[in-house]
Amino acid sequence: MEIRKAEETDAALIKELTHRTVSAIYPHYYPDGAVRFFLEHHSEEKIIREIKAGEVYLLTDDKGQPAGTVTVNGNEINRLFVLPEFQGKGFGGRLIAFAEELIAENYSEAELSASFPAKAIYLKKGYRAVEFHSILTENGDYLCYDYMKKELMP
């Protein structure tokens, strides 16, 4: 398992990885309008901007196959996705630990927005929900999520 900083040439791969994960998992938790919102939110243009800012990381398995991604903006963890075929094998936990290590270099607290499918994972990792949010999406559907925080050790 290896995590490296993403390069611009990885943008389409990271978009595909993100969209495949959202399309496979999120329809079990969210209505169609919310799923489409997630897909549009994780556009290739946005990913490229964040790669250029040095905020995006790509995780590969032992064979070099892309398995997951995470974006770290300041003390906030964003776009943490692990492809369904790699879930339950420690890849997500490794990405969380990696992001927390980066954040702990400059901050005492990590923050993130947790989707319904990810909330239980973050609770197990010591995060606490501090706010509940909902966004009205197309068709009158709502995207609901928790804003979570965790104190980090320096």
Which pLDDT score is estimated for 130?
98
Which pLDDT score is estimated for 4?
97
CA dist 132 to 15, 46, 75, 101, 116, Å? 27, 24, 19, 26, 11
Which pLDDT score is estimated for 153?
83
Structure tokens at 120: 């239980």
Chain Cα centroid distance, residue 39: 13
Distance CA 62, CA 41 (A): 30
Sheet with 76-82, side-by-side order of all strands:
2-5, 56-60, 66-73, 76-82, 109-114, 142-151, 128-136
| Residues of the chain where predicted confidence (pLDDT) is lower than 50 | none
CATH 3.40.630.30 fits 2-107, yes or no: yes
2 CB burial (10 A radius; 0-12, 13-18, 19+): exposed
- At position 8, the amino acid (one-letter code) is E
Q: Domain ranges in the chain?
A: 2-107
